Amino acid sequence: MVVVYLLICLIPVALILLVLVTIGSAVMKVVRTGKRMYANIRPDINDLKEKAARAQQKSLEFSERGKKLSETFAEIGGRWAFVSQSFEETTKSPIVKLAGMAGKHTG
């Protein structure tokens, strides 16, 4: 009779423990699978990080080149202004006027 009472009390406890062990086993399988998947994906993630860093470096270099190009155009504009001002001063020079009058008299 004692055995019957023990079985009646212990069978639900054993079933609950069996369910907990089954859940734990499933969790461990999921964890192992996740670790394997992460190990397989890690090189791709690292490659993506390297590509992103390279793209960022190239965009910084591109912006630096654009800045240098704009500085070059500003310098060219300044030099052109100097050339045009020098040309105006040269045409207003008395020597040029004198040479123009001499050319008219000889012609």
Q: Flag whether 1 is in a domain.
A: no
Q: For residue 75, with 0-12 CB atoms within 10 Å meaning exposed, 13-18 middle and 19 or more buried, which class applies?
A: exposed
Phi, psi of 55 (to 5 degrees): -65, -40
Per the prediction, the chain carries an average pLDDT of 89
Evaluate if residue 93 carries a pLDDT over 80: no
Q: Flag whether 100 is in a domain.
A: yes
The number of beta carbons lying within 10 Å of the beta carbon of residue 38 is 10
The DSSP output letter for 93 is -
Q: Flag whether 76 is in a domain.
A: yes
For 107, the 3-state DSSP assignment is coil
pLDDT at 8: 87
Instruction: Summarize pLDDT for 23-57 with one digit per residue, the tens.
Output: 999 999 999 999 999 999 999 999 999 999 999 99
Which range of residues forms the domain containing residue 28? 9-106
